[in-house]
Chain A
Amino acid sequence: MKDGRSGYRRMAVCLLVSLAAAGLCGEAPPRAQQRANVTLSLLITPAAGPTLSFGGWACGLGVGEGLVERSNEFTLAADPDTCRAGSGTASPEIALLRHAYVWTADARLVESTTGRLVLSASWKRFTRGPEGTPVESGGGEIPKLTLGEGDRVLLDYVSGSEGSCARSFALELTAQVEEDPALAERQIGYDLWLVHEVPGRKPASRRSLLTAKHGQPATFAFPKESLEGAAAGSSVDVEVTGRVRGRLRADGSIDLALMTIRSANYASAVGGHGASENGEKQLTVQPGEAIRVDLPAAPRGDDYLTQRLASGMAGHSFALILTARPVS
C-alpha cells in the first residue's frame, strides 16, 4: 500500500511538472532584448523658418543602462536671442552664463525589442535667477514611456519671447534599436496575404510580396475594397495598409513587428464617415512559419453615421497571413 501511494504521489508530481512544462512550452519564446540608440535633442524653431533638430546627446544603451551613467552629467542649452544651442558637461551655472535655457536630463532603457522600446525619462529646465543663480523653471519625469521604433516624444517646450530669434525650443527624446553589424545587411522576405471573409462565401485573398533589410520596415498597402451589402444609395470602402519589420536572431528565428492600419469609409447622400484603427503585434516566428492575425470587428459608435459604417462592415472580417524568411 505504501509503495502504491508513493507511486500515485510520484505520478501526481510528474503530472503537475508536465502541465507546468507544457504551459511554459506553449508560450511564445521570449523576444530578444537588444541595445538601442537613445537620443535627446533640442528642436529649435526660428521666428521665420522651419524647425531644426540640434542632435545634442546620443548614446548606445543596453537594457537597464541610462544616459547619465554612460556619459556623466550632461547639459543642453539654448538661447532664444541668438538661436544658439549647445551641449556639454558644463554645470547649469556655467551653461547659464551664455544661454537663457539649460536642461539636464536622463533617459534609461527599460526594454528593447523589435517594434517596442520602453524607457524612463526625467528632465529639469533651468533659467537664470535674479542673482545669476540657476532657477528650476520646469521639469518632469516619465517612469514608463513606450515607443515604437522611430517614434519621437517631446519632453519639454519653451516659447521664445516677442521679437527673439527663436519662436520656440523643445526637448525631444527618440530611440532606435541598435543593429548587429553582422546582420544589418541581411534581407528578409515577407509573403503577406489579406484575407477577406464573408459567411457562406469562399474567402477572397490578395497577396503582397515584400523585401526589406534586417531591422528596416517594409510597408504594404492592399487595394481598397468596396464591401457588398451596404444599404441602397450608400457604400462602404475598406483599405488595409501597414508595415512589417523583422530582425533575424542567432537561433534562426525572426522577431517581427506587424503594424496594421484599417481605414473604413461610409458614404451616402445623407453624409459620410471615416474611421481608422491601427495596431501593432510583436511576435517571434520560425522561417517560413505562417501566422494569421485577425483584425477585430468595427466598433459600434453612438451617432448615426458611425453606426451605418459599422453596419456596412458587419459580416465582413479581415485577417493578415504572414510568413517571413531570410533571403539568401
Chain B
Amino acid sequence: MAKNAEIVSIQKVHKDYPLDKVVVKALQGVDLTVHQGDFLSIVGPSGSGKTTLLNLIGCVDVATSGTVLIDGHDTKTLSDRQLTDLRLETLGFIFQSFNLVPVLSVFQNVEFPLLLQRRLTRDERAKRVDALLAKVGLDKHSKHRPSELSGGQRQRVAIARALVTRPKIVLADEPTANLDSVTGETIIDLMKEMNRSLKTTFIFSTHDAKVMGHANSVVRLADGRIDGRKAKAGKH
C-alpha cells in the first residue's frame, strides 16, 4: 500500500530549556515523520519529552536546533504571525484541560477559529458548526456554557473546535488524562472516527496503554529520544 504524503517531518531536533543554571535537554536529536491520515500516539513516561515534541509540531514553540517541517513549512524560518496563521489554517488542538473560553457558549467556542479565519459567511459558519456538533453528539447543547457540561462533553466541544477549520493535523496532549476510562474510551473512538471520515491526521500523547492501543502508529519517547516506533499492520 502506498504511503500518504509526509505532513510532519522532524529531523535531528534538539530542545533545551534553561532552568536556573542548568539546561534541561527536553529533546535530544529526535527524528520523526508523520504521514497524512496517521493516527499517531506518542507515549513515554513523564518528562520524556512528549509535550515538548507536540509543542514543536503544533508551532507553539521552536526547536533549539534541527528542522521541523509542518506541511512543508520550516517553522524556524517563519515569523510569529506566519506561525499563528499556520496554526490557524493547518493545525487543530485538543488540550488535556479542554481549554474552552468560559464566557462563550458551546457553539461560539467551536465557531471561534472560523471567525479568526474570516472566510465563511455567518450561515456557512453556522452550518459547519452545527454539523460538527451533531457529529460529536452535542447538537442539543450548542447554547450551553462549558461550565454546564461534563468533562467528556467539554472534550467533545474541544474536538469540534479543533476540527472546525478542517485542519490537516490535530494535536492532542493527553486528551483523556482528565476523564474517566469509559469517557476517555469514547473520546478516542470519536477521534478515530474523525480520522477515518475526515482523513485528518491525529497526533496525540498519552501514557494510557488502553488509549495507545487505538493508534495505528506508536512512537515511544524516553529521556528526550525516540525509543522506538511501532506501526500496527492493517490499521493504516
Q: Do A and B bind each other?
A: no
- Interface residues in chain B, defined as those with a beta carbon under 8 Å from any beta carbon in chain A: none
